[in-house]
Amino acid sequence: MIDLDNLKNQLQVIAKYGSAMAVLGWDEEVNLPPNGHVFRGEVLAQLSADIHKRLTDKQFVTLLNKLNKPDSLKKLSLDNQVIVRETKKDVDLATKLPTEFIERSVKLSSKAFPLWAKAREKSDFSIFAPVLEETIKLKQEEAELIGYKDSPYDALLDAFEPGMNTKKLDAVFEPLAKSISDMIKTIAKSPKLPTTIYDLAKQNELNHDIVATIGYDLESGRIDTSPHPFQTTLHVTDVRVTTRYDEKDFWVSLGSVIHETGHAMYEQGLPAKYWGTPRGESMSLGIHESQSRLWENFVCKSQPFVSYLYPLLVKKYGTLKYTEEQLYKWLNRVERNPIRVESDEVTYNLHIIIRYEIEKDLMEGKLQISDLPRVWNEKMKQYLGLDVANDALGVLQDVHWAHGAVGYFPSYTLGNLNAAQLYAAAKKAMPSLEAGFAKGEFKQLLDWLRVNIHSKGRTYSSTDLIKHITGEDLNPAYLAEHLETKIKLAS
Amino acid sequence: MIDLDNLKNQLQVIAKYGSAMAVLGWDEEVNLPPNGHVFRGEVLAQLSADIHKRLTDKQFVTLLNKLNKPDSLKKLSLDNQVIVRETKKDVDLATKLPTEFIERSVKLSSKAFPLWAKAREKSDFSIFAPVLEETIKLKQEEAELIGYKDSPYDALLDAFEPGMNTKKLDAVFEPLAKSISDMIKTIAKSPKLPTTIYDLAKQNELNHDIVATIGYDLESGRIDTSPHPFQTTLHVTDVRVTTRYDEKDFWVSLGSVIHETGHAMYEQGLPAKYWGTPRGESMSLGIHESQSRLWENFVCKSQPFVSYLYPLLVKKYGTLKYTEEQLYKWLNRVERNPIRVESDEVTYNLHIIIRYEIEKDLMEGKLQISDLPRVWNEKMKQYLGLDVANDALGVLQDVHWAHGAVGYFPSYTLGNLNAAQLYAAAKKAMPSLEAGFAKGEFKQLLDWLRVNIHSKGRTYSSTDLIKHITGEDLNPAYLAEHLETKIKLAS
């Protein structure tokens, strides 16, 4: 099939540019000397423009449309149909956004980032407000270019979570917010562990040992240090994670390494033979986040995992000043915190829902930028019962809007919802699963994820995938039930 | 001048691809997980092909040829004439090598690197031999594509040292080899320093302090660890070096950091406004190497520099078991060593001449790969009087051939020749120069190099540059005289 091979070859060339960008991006966060940032931005812009040009190239689009005709499609294998169908979606989206618009977006976020950083540093929202207003206007323009049925926010959501929209999210998020707000009324005082110094080199060794045991292939990956932990894929044979360290809290690094390893194992489990095509790509942010959350919160904060972890800590750091039971309770503590990234897994979802409601109202023109700090603080009080000390610890805490990422936040809670439902299905399918964790056995779970999720690429939409695996639509009851156990531990 | 701006813009786009390749290449040597090498090779091949395609693009060549006409040229400033003239040389060379050939070259060296590393690790030449054979065949093919008069090796030499050939090199290298072989007969027993353990973290700190003092801008650079130290330029604002460490010998890391910093300061001193064009590029390898050798051997092994260094060592490692005088003699010891990069600066040149003879014979088909280890060992015996213990310490010690760099080695000794002559000129121009080193003052020398060499880019050929600065043609007497002083110290 010459046309199909031609399409695949061109997609693989595009993927090579994507890989180069991933290396440059990784290096930017991990290594780049201060003076190197400006030029690095120019190189990334060049490569990004090349990808856009190739994806919207006339001959390429003609080839794709030819393959996408019903007569041609039905001659293809199911895997190849996925490639054509999903590439068509990508190309349609790329075509809707003209180069001029992309350039304006990149420029605006270049301008917005330092203003946000300054505003946060000085805790002065007025420094960021004008450029945030511009950003929202640009995102509204983007929504118009992409098109939508009900809300302009739907157009943005769809890019991160194909098929997702405000109607569906409202139906899940509203009851979730209510039930969590009710739950947290009963939280007792949060447990503390006695102060312990954890040598950084030893933390690094332990992190490597644990994620290698879990299933992260370090022959095809590596762990580095960066201010904001992340995972990036340079290729299926080179999937990297980063972390950060706190000498007084080993979980700061281990927890984030496990989280990022969850992402990394998804990427390492994508089918190598389809690398560069949608059949070899991850499904959505919400599915991606389900993998990181599943390992971080469902596996690695479980009682059996803590039984496995505790002796490793003792071996590394000597006798500890706390028991295994204390460690387990401390890892699972629930504690209201005004900062999203420092929150426990229960209240975390309220942080997301607040951002979702605000983004939706901004996009729909129902909320003015000037009212944003007030509304933020009101919602923090309403949902979390917290008073926000200042805007740096409030509306200015996240970098996302400065990067022009609007519609991204819901994926975090979708990840939690997906993880809860998937983990329940996994436990049902493998009753001895958690018993294995205590012995350091994780292969059963990883294999199950490989077969059911990782190997599928973009074959199914996230909603179809969840239904396919768990036998039902996305059901918030699983997450609620899981969070209840945390609340019980904490009260 | 629309045509000239157009040319410059296109050169800058090419330079952005070059920068992306430099990041990927740096990462390959410093970070890449084992399984990532194959795909990395494919990405580099893609970018390399893109550069080649742009450099040989019909419209680009037409534009260049138009600007290169005598009538157009004379309307340009001298700087812009350099850009047109040197770009024409690059394009002519690139035109001789088809894209398909470039892709094969890049792929081959990505394949060769891990095999070389494994062969060296296991000291098993047979692991590397087949891919080395492929490499030599490819270089022979390259020589035929480029064209040459006397030896296929000339075609390769010219790429590193424009205007250089085997005839000229033979005329310098044969007598040099003889005189050094004679000199080293008088060496007394080499001085040793009492065993000292130098903490690796402290070595790293000291390396940073010293090269920053010398003039390496670490806001536009960084120092990493790799098995084979190197310098690479991602942009004039991001010029990196690597080193390796030995707990019992601080000079293994400091010496190589200083060497690579010599390269790095050349790159940081290139005119930023001409970045991406030949006016903003380094001249040749032989000039590049003169900068690293000048700092490593002429500045940092001098008596005044050792006076500056000794107290820094004491401050870092406590009272030393040796005197400043002993350190000075030890740094300048002449001692036959089977490893090139661990050699003293006298016998180093014999290592180069051995490699030169071998490369020439391989390229001319007078030497078979299977005979290589034997011939290597014979020459080591003949020139240096050394028995080679195993291939890891012999024919497998250098990465160059694994990178497809054949014809590169002679530049090292050309660098020594250039450095000796330039340093003599610098001392003549600035009589108080060396006195400053004792006080940690290096700015005078760096400024002189900036003005006379770095800022010139590719304005002059290396031979013209040397003549321009020193008032005479390349004269081996300066290096011979310098090496004699080392022999005197050592005997």
Cβ of A16 within 8 Å of Cβ of B43? The answer is yes
Residues of B in contact with A23 (CB under 8 A): 20, 23-24, 27, 43
Residues of A in contact with B199 (CB under 8 A): none
Burial of A150 (0-12, 13-18, 19+ CB in 10 A): exposed
* pLDDT of residue A166 exceeding 90: yes
Cβ of A237 within 8 Å of Cβ of B23? The answer is no
Residues of A in contact with B31 (CB under 8 A): 222, 224
Percent helix, strand and coil across chain B, each rounded to 5?
Answer: 70, 5, 25
* pLDDT of residue A188 exceeding 90: no
Structural tokens at position A325: 């039971």
Nearest chain B Cα distance for residue A245, angstroms: 18
Per the CB < 8 A criterion, the answer to whether A139 and A406 are in contact is yes
Per the CB < 8 A criterion, the answer to whether A331 and A189 are in contact is no
> Shortest CB distance from B218 goes to which of A20, A33, A46?
A33
Our CA dihedral for B357, B360, B363, B367, rounded to 10 degrees, sits at: -30
Higher-confidence position of A352 and A188: A352
Q: What is the ipTM of this complex?
A: 0.89
Phi and psi, residue A334, nearest 5°: -115, 125
The confidence score (pLDDT) of residue B202 equals 97
Per the CB < 8 A criterion, the answer to whether B316 and B124 are in contact is no
> Shortest CB distance from A36 goes to which of B13, B20, B238?
B238
Find, among A175, A119, A162, the residue nearest to A288 by Cα: A162
Find, among B115, B48, B450, the residue nearest to B271 by Cα: B450
Residues of B in contact with A222 (CB under 8 A): 31, 33
Residues of B in contact with A238 (CB under 8 A): 32-33, 35-36, 39-40
Rg (CA), chain B: 22
Per the CB < 8 A criterion, the answer to whether A339 and A393 are in contact is yes
Rg (CA), chain A: 23
Q: Which amino acid is present at A72? A: S
Q: How far apart are CA B17 and CA B23, in angstroms?
A: 10
The confidence score (pLDDT) of residue B89 equals 93
At residue A58, the 3 state secondary structure works out as helix
Cβ of A220 within 8 Å of Cβ of B20? The answer is no
Q: Is B260 a residue of the active site? A: yes
Cβ of B46 within 8 Å of Cβ of A235? The answer is no
**Contact residues for B116 (Cβ-Cβ < 8 A; gap 6+):** B128, B131, B396, B399, B401, B402
Output the CA torsion sign for A72, A73, A74, A76: positive
Q: Strand (E) positions, B16-147?
A: none
Phi and psi, residue B243, nearest 5°: -150, 180
The confidence score (pLDDT) of residue A234 equals 95
Q: What is the largest CA-CA distance in chain B?
A: 69
Nearest chain A Cα distance for residue B18, angstroms: 10
The confidence score (pLDDT) of residue B411 equals 95
Our CA dihedral for A98, A100, A104, A110, rounded to 10 degrees, sits at: 100
**Contact residues for A106 (Cβ-Cβ < 8 A; gap 6+):** A45, A48
Q: Are strands B221-225 and B238-243 parallel, antiparallel or unpaired?
A: parallel
* pLDDT of residue A186 exceeding 90: no
The confidence score (pLDDT) of residue A189 equals 79
Q: How far apart are CA A30 and CA B40, in angstroms?
A: 19
Whole-number Cα distances in Å, B53 to B2, B58, B68, B95: 22, 9, 20, 9
Find, among A357, A359, A354, A329, the residue nearest to A340 by Cα: A354
The confidence score (pLDDT) of residue A491 equals 74
The catalytically annotated residue of A260, A281, A289, A296 is: A260
Residues of A in contact with B235 (CB under 8 A): 36, 39-40
The confidence score (pLDDT) of residue A106 equals 83
Q: Are strands A238-243 and A231-235 parallel, antiparallel or unpaired?
A: antiparallel
Q: How far apart are CA B216 and CA B419, in angstroms?
A: 19
Helices (H), A215-347: 250-268, 285-293, 303-317, 324-331
Q: How far apart are CA B184 and CA B347, in angstroms?
A: 8
Residues of B in contact with A20 (CB under 8 A): 20, 24, 43, 47
Nearest chain A Cα distance for residue B35, angstroms: 5
Cβ of B237 within 8 Å of Cβ of A38? The answer is yes
Residue identified by tokens 């080591």 is B380
Find, among A263, A266, A253, A268, the residue nearest to A210 by Cα: A253
Output the CA torsion sign for B266, B270, B276, B279: negative
Structural tokens at position B31: 């970070």
Work out how many CB contacts closer than 8 A connect A with B: 97
> Distance from CA of residue A168 to its chain's centroid?
19
Strand partners, A243: A225
Q: How far apart are CA A414 and CA A169, in angstroms?
A: 9
Per the CB < 8 A criterion, the answer to whether B141 and B97 are in contact is no
Q: To which H or E segment does residue A221 belong? A: strand A221-225
Q: How far apart are CA A260 and CA A291, in angstroms?
A: 9
Q: Which of A314-323, A429-438, B172-181, B256-265 has the lowest mean pLDDT?
A: B172-181
Side-chain-side CA neighbours of residue A367 (13 Å)? 18
Q: How far apart are CA B344 and CA B348, in angstroms?
A: 6
Q: Which residues of B touch A (CB under 8 A)?
A: 13, 16-17, 19-20, 23-24, 26-27, 31-36, 38-40, 42-43, 46-47, 217-222, 224, 234-235, 237-238, 240
Residue A365 — pLDDT band, cuts 50, 70, 90? very high
B19: nearest CA in chain A?
Answer: A43
Cβ of A218 within 8 Å of Cβ of B19? The answer is no
The confidence score (pLDDT) of residue B182 equals 86
Cβ of B38 within 8 Å of Cβ of A238? The answer is no
Whole-number Cα distances in Å, A309 to A214, A298, A437, B161: 12, 15, 10, 59
Strand partners, B445: none
Quick count: other Cβ atoms within 10 Å of Cβ B194?
8
Per the CB < 8 A criterion, the answer to whether B20 and B13 are in contact is no
Per the CB < 8 A criterion, the answer to whether A65 and A81 are in contact is no
**pLDDT tens-place values along chain B, 491 residues long:** 789 999 999 999 999 999 999 999 999 999 999 999 889 989 998 999 899 999 999 999 999 999 999 999 999 999 999 999 999 999 999 999 988 898 899 889 889 999 999 999 999 999 999 999 999 999 999 999 999 999 999 999 988 888 889 998 998 898 889 889 888 887 777 889 999 999 999 999 999 999 999 999 999 999 999 988 999 999 999 999 999 999 999 999 999 999 999 999 999 999 999 999 999 999 999 999 999 999 999 999 999 999 999 999 999 999 999 999 999 999 999 988 999 988 899 999 999 999 999 999 999 999 999 999 999 999 999 999 999 999 999 999 999 999 999 999 999 999 999 999 999 999 999 999 999 999 999 999 999 999 999 999 999 999 899 999 999 988 888 998 999 999 888 77
Cβ of A31 within 8 Å of Cβ of B220? The answer is no
Higher-confidence position of A106 and A359: A359
At residue B462, the 3 state secondary structure works out as helix
Cβ of B19 within 8 Å of Cβ of A43? The answer is yes
The confidence score (pLDDT) of residue B75 equals 95
Side-chain-side CA neighbours of residue B310 (13 Å)? 20
* pLDDT of residue A111 exceeding 90: no
Per the CB < 8 A criterion, the answer to whether B171 and B159 are in contact is no
Q: How far apart are CA B395 and CA B49, in angstroms?
A: 31
Residues of A in contact with B35 (CB under 8 A): 217, 219-220, 237-238
Q: How far apart are CA A470 and CA A423, in angstroms?
A: 9
Q: What is the DSSP letter of A191?
A: P
Find, among B299, B224, B238, B225, the residue nearest to B267 by Cα: B238
The confidence score (pLDDT) of residue A304 equals 98
Structural tokens at position B52: 């080649």
Q: How far apart are CA A302 and CA B414, in angstroms?
A: 65
At residue B239, the 3 state secondary structure works out as strand
Stated pTM of the model: 0.89
Cβ of B27 within 8 Å of Cβ of A32? The answer is no
The catalytically annotated residue of B260, B281, B345, B359 is: B260
Our CA dihedral for B293, B294, B297, B302, rounded to 10 degrees, sits at: -170
A10: nearest CA in chain B?
Answer: B46
> Distance from CA of residue B184 to its chain's centroid?
25
Q: How far apart are CA B455 and CA B321, in angstroms?
A: 43
Q: Which residues of A touch B (CB under 8 A)?
A: 13, 16-17, 19-20, 23-24, 26-27, 31-36, 38-40, 42-43, 46-47, 217-222, 224, 234-235, 237-238, 240, 275
